[in-house]
Amino acid sequence: MDEIVYGDRLSSGEYRALREAVGWKALSERQIDGTLYKGLFLITARYGGRCAGMTRLVGDGAYFFLLADVIVHPDYQGRGIGKRMVTSALEFVRACLRDGESASVNMMAAKSKEPFYEKLGFTKRPDDTFGAGMSMLLKK
């Protein structure tokens, strides 16, 4: 039986296919290139060569990090792949820090996926300290 193999290569076609498999909107070719090549960190999961999942980090590499595109193909969900990829992303953030420093790691949970992230240490907003996370979809 094939094992899950983790790496850091993802073609634009694979990225497009993963987004489509989980029902996310299609991006333009130019946006796909920007997302894949201008991030801080990218991890992929492969099963028998087929791309089973990905996630990535964008940010300044010093304090602010945004976890984006946590995607596990529906055929491979529930096998610990998402957890392993997010854990690797958090290890990357930790490796960016020096002793005594901390980083702000942010993400926007898809509906009903909050418990997955809470298990990994994220807390829901708003809470006693922070207001709600906010977002905007800008269109041109």
Ligand X SMILES: CC(C)(COP(=O)(O)OP(=O)(O)OC[C@H]1O[C@@H](n2cnc3c(N)ncnc32)[C@H](O)[C@@H]1OP(=O)(O)O)[C@@H](O)C(=O)NCCC(=O)NCCS
Which residues bind to ligand X, rule: CB under 6 A? Answer: 22, 70-72, 77-83, 109-110, 112-113, 115-116, 119
CB of 126 to ligand X, least distance (A): 18
The residue whose Cβ lies closest to ligand X is 82
Residue number with CB closer to ligand X (62 or 124): 124
Q: What is the dihedral of CA 34, 28, 9, 75, to 10 degrees?
A: 140
Question: How far is the C-alpha of 133 from the C-alpha of 80, rounded, in Å?
Answer: 27
Residue number with CB closer to ligand X (12 or 87): 87
- What single-letter DSSP state applies at residue 103? -
Residue number with CB closer to ligand X (56 or 128): 56
Question: How far is the C-alpha of 32 from the C-alpha of 17, rounded, in Å?
Answer: 12
Residue (of 101, 104, 107, 100) closest to 125 by Cα position: 107
CB of 100 to ligand X, least distance (A): 30
CB of 124 to ligand X, least distance (A): 13
Question: How far is the C-alpha of 122 from the C-alpha of 41, rounded, in Å?
Answer: 19
Residue number with CB closer to ligand X (36 or 86): 86
CB of 109 to ligand X, least distance (A): 5
Q: Taking the chain, what is the end-to-end CA distance rounded to the nearest angstrom?
A: 47
